[in-house]
Structure 1
Amino acid sequence: MSEEFSIGIDLGTTYSCLAYIDDNNEPVVERNYEHEDTTPSVILFNDVGEKLVGSSAKDMFLMYSSDRFVLDIKRKMGTDYSVDIDGIRYTPPTLSGLILRKLLKDFEENHGLDEGSVKSAVITVPAYFGLEEREATVNAGKIAGLEEVTLLNEPTAAAICFGFGNNQDGPKKVLVYDLGGGTFDVTILQIDGKSFTAIATDGQRLMGGKDWDAALKSIIISKIAEMSGLSEGEIEADSDIMDALVLDSEDLKKRLSTSESTRGTMTIGGRKVTYTVTREEFEDATKHLIDSTADTVAEVLDSKNLTVGDIDAFLLVGGSSRMPQVKATIANRFPGANIKIYDPDQSIAKGAAVYCKSRDVLSDVKADIKQQMDAGQPGPVNETEMASRVDEVAMATDDAIVVHNVLSKSLGVKASDGNGNEYISNIVFRDVTLPIVENRTYYPYVDGQLSVDVEIFENGARNNEDGMRVEMADASLVGSFPMKLPEDVTKNTPINIRFTVNDDGMVFAYVECKDQHAEYNLKTKTSMTDEEIRKFRGLVEHGLI
C-alpha cells in the first residue's frame, strides 16, 4: 500500500532524486531503474513515439536532433512556455509530470507495487518560487499520478536533513546556500529541536550550474577556434559541435572540481583537436557568477540585521556547491563562517521524506483540529491559529516535526489613489513566517459601484514604509477574480480583503463587503483546470504523451 511510504522528491533542473523513510525510520534515497541515486531531468522524444526520461535519454543526446530533447524544464515552471513535438503541445507541468512519473514508477517497481499506487508525496521547490511556479509544480505532481502534493522549500528540506536526529545541540541558526543545476537559493533557518523555522530567504531564478557550463563552453569554443583556424561564429553555427559541448562542458566542470586542469577533445572537419582548460581559467570566467551568489548571501543576512557570528553553520547544498570556488568565495567573503558541504545531491530529497513522514503522522490531527474550528467559527479557518494548535501536538508526537517557511515574495492588490494613478497596495510581505493571515480595507471608486476586479500582484518589496505602495512596473500579475458588490454601496463602504497564505505558499483570498462575502482559491495566469489535469494524467498513465 502506498500509505506505508513517506516519499520526498527533489525535482531538479538537471537531476532529480526520490527518497523515502525506511523500516528503520531513516531517510533513504531510492535508486532508479538504472541503479542510479539521481535521475537526469532529461526527456527524449524518439523517432518511434517513445518518451525516454533520465540516463536513457541523456545517453542518446548526440544521436538525435536537439529539438527532440527537453532539458532544464524547471527553469520554465510558472511561465507560458510550450513546445510542440509530434503534434502534441507540451507545457512545463506536463513535461515535469513525465519526469516525476519516471521516479514514481521506478519506486513502485522496486517495492512490488502496482503502477500508480503511490498517491502522495512531498515535492521540493526553490524558496524564491512564487505562486505560478508553485501551482505548476503541484499540477506536475497530479499529472504524474499523485492525488496529494505538498510543497516544501528546498533549503528548508536540506536543513531538516541536517537537523534530523541531531536535536541535542540546542537552538541554532543555519544558513543554507543551495546552488543547484539551474536555481539558486539562500535561506536562514532557526533550528530548535524538532522545530525548523525559516527567518529570511532570497534567490535568483536563472542561476545555477548550467550558467557555469555556459561559461566553460565559451572557453572551449575560444580554444577550439584558435587551434582549428575556424572563427567562433563558425563553431557556434555547427549544431553537432554545440550539441557535443552540452555534455562536454558538464563533464569538464566536474573534473575541474578535483583537478587543477583537464583536457577535452573535439573532432572538427575530420581533425581531432585536443584542448586544455585550467581551473584558474574557469574560475576567472565565472567570478561574476559566484560573486553574485555571495551578494545574495549578504543581502539575506542584512535583511535581518544578522552577522556571520549569528550563524552556527553555513550549509552548502546542491550539486554545484561542490565546485571549490564556492567554499573559497564564501570563506573569503564571510570570514569566520562555519562552512559545511552537506550531502549536496541527496539532502533535499531526504529532508522532504522526513517532512512527509511528519505530515502523514499529523494528518488526522490536522483534520480533527480543523473540524473543531469549523464548528466553532463562521467563515474560513484561521490558518495561523490552526498551525499553532498543530505545532503543540507535533512537539509532543513521535516522528513529527514543526516546519514553517517564509513567504518569498510580497503580495498585494492593484489600487488607485482616486486621481487615476494606479499602484500596488501590499497586504502580506516577503520573509513573513507562514502560515499568515492579513486583512486590508479598501473602498469603491464611486457610489453604486456594481463590482470589483481584485488583481493580485507579486513583488520584491520589504515590510517598511516604501514597501506599502509599489509601482505597477515593479510587480507581476499572478491572478485575479471578480466580485459583485451590494447594490447600495457608496464610496465610504468598506471592502475587506483577507489574504491567507498556507505553509505551501499557496494563497487564498476572502473578500467581504457588508453582508456579502466570498472565498477564492487564487488561480494564476497559467492555471490548469481539473479537467485538463485529468486529461494529461490519463495520457501519461497510458504512455500517450
Structure 2
Amino acid sequence: MSLRIPVGIDLGTTFCAAARINEAGRTEIVESRPGKKLLPSLVHFAPDEVTVGLPAGESDSHPRTTTIANAKRRLAGSNRLCEVNGKPMPAEVVLGYLLKDIKNTLSNQLGPAFSSVITVPAYFDEVRRQAIKNAGEMSGLEVVDIVNEPTAAVLAFGEHLGYLDKTGVPCQSLNVLVYDLGGGTFDVTAIQLRNQEIKTLATDGDTELGGLNWDECLAELLQHRYEEALAANQTTLANNERYWLEMANRFKHALSSSPTATDVCDGSAGPQEITVTRNDFAEATAHLTDRTLFTTRQCLNAAGWAWGDIDRLILVGGSTRMPCIRESLRQESRLDPESCIDPDEAVARGAAIYAQSRLSQQGVSTVARELTITNVASHSLGIVGVDIDTLHREVIHLIPKNNPLPTDVERDFVTRVEGQKSVEVQVTEGESSSPEHNQIIGKARIVNLPPGLPAGAKVRIKYSYDANGCLSVDAVVPGAGLPAKLDLKREKTLNSNQLSRWSEVVNQPGGFNDFSDAILSIMDEPELESAAAADTNRAYTPAKPSKQRDRSLEPAHPEGAPKAASSKLKQSAKESADRVASGAGATSTVPKARLVSKGTRGRRSNPFASLLVNGTMSVLSAVVGLLLGYYVLCVVRPEANVLNLRLPGVDSPAHEVSPPNGP
C-alpha cells in the first residue's frame, strides 16, 4: 500500500485553512493562493464558472443571489437550503465546492498521494457531522476521518510544547480549556493533555454564535452613529445590509489593534466620518460575550473543574482576537490566554496531526505517530418513547452528553403481533425530554424480520457512537441468531442516490447554466421509501414507569417494545431499586418496555363531552359567585335585599306601617 501525506482541513464558517505534515514530521500551512494562508468561505455561481474564495467576494461585480457565504451555519434545520438564482441547493453542496477547491490546491502542491481529516465544531450534532462527511465525499477528497476543532487545537498546542514526541522528556499532565470562537460557531472544551495522550472531559457550545453576531451588532452601532451625525432618522441597514456588515468587519479588525477606529461610511444620505472606540464595541456586544462565558461555566461544571484547576487557556478562532473577548476571559479566569499558536492556523495544524495518527494506524503515513485521543459525546443520544400514564411522547436518553467515545448501548424490542415483519424507532440527539426540542437524527427501521416470529419475540438494536461522534445502528434477532436488516433513514440529510448525483454536479466543469437543470431534477426527487415501510410498526419506550406497575426490567406487555438493556442501564436501575428499598426515596430511571401502536396512541376522551362538562362547571361557578356577592352586599346594606330573602346575619328590611282604619 502506497504511503500518504497527512493533511488537515479547517472548514470554517468564514475562512478555511489546510495544513500538512512535512518530511521532518512537523506541521506547516499549505497556502490557498500565493501569499495567502486562509481561503474565504465564499462560493460564487456565475453562468459559465464557479469561483471560490476572494474572487467570489467581489461585491461590486457579484450579486448576492449568486454568491453564498456562511454555508456551514445552515447544515441542519429548516433553513438548510441555500438559494442560488432562485434555485435551492443544500448547504453541504456549497461546502463541497469549497473542499473541491482545497483538494485542487493540495493536489497541485503535494501531488495526488494525500489523505485528509476535516474538522467540525465540537458541539456539532450528528446530522451536521454527517453533512460534513457528505461534503468531503462530494469534493472527491479522500477523507479518513473528522475531528473536533478543540481537539485539533490542543494537538497543535501539544506539538508546540513537545507533548506529542514519544522520545521527548516526560511532561506533567496539563488541564487545558479551549475557548473556540470562530466566524459562525462557538465551542468550549475541557481537555487533559499528557504525553501522546489527549483526553476530553466535557464540551459545550453554540452553533448559532460566532464573529458574525459581533459584526451584526457593530453594524447596528455604525448605523446609529451615522444617523446621529446627519441628524436623520433613516434605517440605512435595511437598505444595504451587506455594505454595513462589510464596514462593521473593517471596524472590528481595526479595533483589534487600536483603541479607536475612524472611517468614512457612505450611507444612503452621503459619506460621513464615524468613530468607534473599543469600549463602545464591548458595550454593544456585552450580551454576546456573556453568552460565551455562561457556556464556559457550564462546561467547567460538567468537567468537575473550577477556574483554579486550569493550567492553560487556549484561544482558537479569529474572533478571539477581539480585545473584549480576551479581557473578559482574563477577568473571569484570572488567566492569561496562550499566544504561542496562531488562532487561525491551530485547528488545521492539529487536524494534520490527527490525520498522521489515523494513517499511522493503517500503516500508510509518510511519518508515523502514535497518539491516544479520547473525545466525548457532544449531545445525548435518545429514542422517542411514550409515557404510560399520559400517552405523551417523550425522549429516553440512552447515551448521556459528555460520555466518553467510542461507546454503545443496546436495547431489546419485542414484536407486537405474530408474524410482524418490521419495527421502527425514532432516534434523537439533545438534552430535552420533549422530542420537538431535540434534533431528530432519523428512524432506525428493522425490516425483513424472519418469518413466523411469535408476538413478543426479541429484536436487539445496538446504537454506537464512533470516536468522531457519528452514529451507527445494528440489529440482531437473538432467538434466531441472525442479523436483522436495518435501515437508518436520516432526517434532513442526503440519501445515497442524492449524494451520488450531487457529486456529479460538484465535479462537473462549467458554471451555473450548465447544471441548473440537474439541480431542479435532484431537488424534485421524491423521498425513496422501502417497500416494507408500509408494514412498519413503530416501537416506543415509556418515559417513566406507571406507579402501579412493577419496575422490573422484564417486558411486561405482549404488544411491548423496548425493554431496558445495556449493563449500565441495568446497574442504574438496580441501584435505584436498592435506594428505594433502603428508604432513600429514589425511583428507578429505567422505564418498563411498552409499544404503543399508531392506532392506540391517539386515543383521548370525547372532545364534545369535555366541552359540555367544562361549560357546566363554568355556569355553576358564575351562579355561586353571584349568590355570594349578593349575600355580602346585603350584610353591609340590608336595604339592598330587594328579593326579601331571609339571610343569616342580615336584618329584615323595614316596612312602612299603615295607620288603622276607622275612628
TM-score (norm 2): 0.71
- Is 1:399 matched up with 2:369? yes
Partner in structure 1 of residue 42 of structure 2: 42
- Is 1:437 matched up with 2:433? no
Partner in structure 1 of residue 179 of structure 2: 177
1:420-476 CA-partner distances (Å, limit 9, x unpaired): 332212211110111112223344456765532111011126xxxxxxxx2333322
Partner in structure 2 of residue 458 of structure 1: 429
Partner in structure 1 of residue 542 of structure 2: none
Rounded to whole Å, the distance in 2 between the matches of 1:330 and 1:213 is 20
Which of 487, 491, 505 lines up with 1:525 in the alignment? 491
Structure 1 residues 448-457 or 152-161, which shifts more? Answer: 448-457
1:346-368 CA-partner distances (Å, limit 9, x unpaired): 000000001101111101499xx
1:138–1:149: 8 Å Cα contact kept in structure 2? Answer: no
Rounded to whole Å, the distance in 2 between the matches of 1:4 and 1:266 is 50
SS in 1 for 2:209: coil
Structure 1 residues 357-366 or 25-34, which shifts more? Answer: 357-366
SS in 1 for 2:320: helix
TM-align CA RMSD? 2.4
Q: Identify if the C-alpha distance between structure 1 residues 319 and 157 changes in structure 2 by more than 3 Å, giving closer, same or farther.
A: same
- Is 1:200 matched up with 2:202? yes
Rounded to whole Å, the distance in 1 between the matches of 2:118 and 2:34 is 22
Rounded to whole Å, the distance in 2 between the matches of 1:448 and 1:417 is 27
Partner in structure 2 of residue 390 of structure 1: none
1:516-538 CA-partner distances (Å, limit 9, x unpaired): 53364744213323343333323
Q: How do 1:347-358 residues align onto structure 2 when only pairs under 5 Å count?
A: 347-358=346-357
Which of 382, 386, 397 lines up with 1:416 in the alignment? 386
CA shift, 1:172, in A, is 1.4
SS in 2 for 1:237: helix
Q: Identify if the C-alpha distance between structure 1 residues 2 and 539 changes in structure 2 by more than 3 Å, giving closer, same or farther.
A: farther
Q: How do 1:98-247 residues align onto structure 2 when only pairs under 5 Å count?
A: 98-111=97-110, 113=111, 117=112, 120-164=115-159, 166-167=162-163, 168-233=170-235, 235-239=236-240, 242-247=241-246
1:122–1:356: 8 Å Cα contact kept in structure 2? Answer: yes
Q: Identify if the C-alpha distance between structure 1 residues 442 and 260 changes in structure 2 by more than 3 Å, giving closer, same or farther.
A: same
Q: Partner amino acid for 1:78?
A: A
Partner in structure 2 of residue 505 of structure 1: 469
Structure 1 residues 194-203 or 160-169, which shifts more? Answer: 160-169
Higher-Rg member (1/2): 2
Q: Identify if the C-alpha distance between structure 1 residues 418 and 452 changes in structure 2 by more than 3 Å, giving closer, same or farther.
A: farther
1:126–1:155: 8 Å Cα contact kept in structure 2? Answer: yes
2:50–2:510: 8 Å Cα contact kept in structure 1? Answer: no
Q: Identify if the C-alpha distance between structure 1 residues 296 and 73 changes in structure 2 by more than 3 Å, giving closer, same or farther.
A: same
SS in 1 for 2:198: strand
SS in 1 for 2:98: helix
Rounded to whole Å, the distance in 2 between the matches of 1:443 and 1:415 is 14
Q: Partner amino acid for 2:280?
A: E
Rounded to whole Å, the distance in 1 between the matches of 2:302 and 2:4 is 42
Q: Identify if the C-alpha distance between structure 1 residues 108 and 450 changes in structure 2 by more than 3 Å, giving closer, same or farther.
A: closer
TM-score (norm 1): 0.85
Rounded to whole Å, the distance in 1 between the matches of 2:405 and 2:383 is 19
CA shift, 1:264, in A, is 1.8
SS in 1 for 2:484: strand
Q: Identify if the C-alpha distance between structure 1 residues 149 and 141 changes in structure 2 by more than 3 Å, giving closer, same or farther.
A: farther
1:21–1:353: 8 Å Cα contact kept in structure 2? Answer: yes
1:2–1:119: 8 Å Cα contact kept in structure 2? Answer: no
CA shift, 1:340, in A, is 1.4
Q: Identify if the C-alpha distance between structure 1 residues 517 and 98 changes in structure 2 by more than 3 Å, giving closer, same or farther.
A: same
Rounded to whole Å, the distance in 2 between the matches of 1:490 and 1:519 is 19
1:510–1:520: 8 Å Cα contact kept in structure 2? Answer: yes
CA shift, 1:257, in A, is 1.1
CA shift, 1:249, in A, is 1.0
1:325-357 CA-partner distances (Å, limit 9, x unpaired): 11211121223x353144200000000001101
Q: Partner amino acid for 2:69?
A: L
Rounded to whole Å, the distance in 2 between the matches of 1:3 and 1:55 is 33
User: Number of paired residues?
Assistant: 496
SS in 1 for 2:338: strand
Rounded to whole Å, the distance in 2 between the matches of 1:474 and 1:543 is 42
CA shift, 1:84, in A, is 4.0
Rounded to whole Å, the distance in 2 between the matches of 1:521 and 1:452 is 11
Give ranges in structure 2 of 5+ residues lacking alignment: 164-169, 512-663
Structure 1 residues 261-270 or 49-58, which shifts more? Answer: 261-270
Rounded to whole Å, the distance in 2 between the matches of 1:445 and 1:497 is 16
CA shift, 1:214, in A, is 0.5
Rounded to whole Å, the distance in 2 between the matches of 1:261 and 1:286 is 16
Partner in structure 2 of residue 325 of structure 1: 324
Rounded to whole Å, the distance in 2 between the matches of 1:57 and 1:179 is 24
Q: Identify if the C-alpha distance between structure 1 residues 286 and 181 changes in structure 2 by more than 3 Å, giving closer, same or farther.
A: same
2:381–2:429: 8 Å Cα contact kept in structure 1? Answer: yes
1:206-245 CA-partner distances (Å, limit 9, x unpaired): 1110011001000000011122344242x13323xx2222
CA shift, 1:512, in A, is 3.0
Q: Partner amino acid for 1:220?
A: L
CA shift, 1:56, in A, is 1.3
Higher share in strand:
1
SS in 1 for 2:355: helix
What percentage of residue pairs aligned between the two structures are identical?
A: 28
Partner in structure 1 of residue 555 of structure 2: none
SS in 1 for 2:476: strand
Partner in structure 2 of residue 490 of structure 1: 455
Structure 1 residues 526-535 or 290-299, which shifts more? Answer: 526-535
Rounded to whole Å, the distance in 2 between the matches of 1:96 and 1:436 is 29
Partner in structure 1 of residue 661 of structure 2: none
Which of 76, 79, 100 lines up with 1:78 in the alignment? 76
Rounded to whole Å, the distance in 2 between the matches of 1:17 and 1:345 is 8
Rounded to whole Å, the distance in 2 between the matches of 1:122 and 1:251 is 32
Q: Identify if the C-alpha distance between structure 1 residues 445 and 471 changes in structure 2 by more than 3 Å, giving closer, same or farther.
A: farther
Rounded to whole Å, the distance in 2 between the matches of 1:181 and 1:437 is 33
Q: Identify if the C-alpha distance between structure 1 residues 220 and 524 changes in structure 2 by more than 3 Å, giving closer, same or farther.
A: same
Q: Partner amino acid for 2:506?
A: V
Partner in structure 2 of residue 17 of structure 1: 17
Rounded to whole Å, the distance in 1 between the matches of 2:487 and 2:8 is 25
Q: Partner amino acid for 2:431?
A: G
1:87-141 CA-partner distances (Å, limit 9, x unpaired): 7542111100111111121222234x3xxx3663100000011111001000111
Rounded to whole Å, the distance in 2 between the matches of 1:498 and 1:331 is 45
1:404–1:433: 8 Å Cα contact kept in structure 2? Answer: yes
Rounded to whole Å, the distance in 2 between the matches of 1:365 and 1:107 is 18
CA shift, 1:498, in A, is 1.5
- Is 1:477 matched up with 2:440? yes
Rounded to whole Å, the distance in 2 between the matches of 1:248 and 1:118 is 42
Q: Identify if the C-alpha distance between structure 1 residues 319 and 520 changes in structure 2 by more than 3 Å, giving closer, same or farther.
A: farther
CA shift, 1:193, in A, is 0.5
1:392-426 CA-partner distances (Å, limit 9, x unpaired): xxxxx951211121111111111224453322122
